[in-house]
Amino acid sequence: MVKAALFVCLGNICRSPIADAVFLKIVTERGIADQWKVDSAAIGGWHSGSSPDSRATKTLTNHGIPYDGRARQIEDEDFLEFDYIFGMDDKNISNLKGQQPPESRAKILLLGDFDPEGDKIIRDPYYDSGSEGFEKCYQQCVRSCNGFLDQLEQGKI
């Protein structure tokens, strides 16, 4: 049975595309990519149709991860289609829970809750002047995605 994971941040051009790409890379490395559908989306539609922030793309490229997704806004159907919807911060979680339809089957989770280093909020690097914040975001996503998959494998989720 295929599971589905959706990564959500405010605009879908920084954190969620990084998390999407990282998760896909990890499930591919673990040999379970065929068991997962992976995507990302935004709380708001300001950037719909746009490529990720160039600093996000550069960070992924620096780690050998291609990404060609486009920003989109989360829709009610996503709550029915995805098993796990990950927010990057508490505000994302609040917005997601507020939008979640009653018939939703999705578990809404804070991605950082799975970071073994306890870094619960995935840093939003959008307003940074450089790319250091994007690297921090990437590292948080790597730890958190691995942590989630480990806990899922152990039956803790």
Tell me the pLDDT tens digit for each residue of 67-82.
999 999 999 999 999 9
Q: Look at residue 78 in the predicted model and tell me its pLDDT.
A: 98
Q: How far is 73 from 12, CA to CA, in rounded Å?
A: 8
Catalytic residue among 15, 55, 123, 143: 15
pLDDT mean over 125-147: 93
Q: How far is 149 from 157, CA to CA, in rounded Å?
A: 9
pLDDT surpassing 90 at residue 123: no
| Among 103, 78, 74, residue whose Cα is nearest residue 8 | 74
> Is 34 an active-site residue?
no
Per the prediction, the chain carries an average pLDDT of 96
Q: pTM for this one?
A: 0.96
Tell me which DSSP letter residue 88 carries. Answer: S
> Is 68 an active-site residue?
no
Catalytic residue among 9, 14, 137, 145: 9
Catalytic residue among 55, 123, 124, 141: 124
> Is 137 an active-site residue?
no
Regarding the domain delimited by 3-153, which CATH topology (the fold level of the hierarchy) does it fall under?
Rossmann fold (3.40.50)
pLDDT surpassing 90 at residue 97: yes
Q: Give the total residue count for the chain.
A: 157
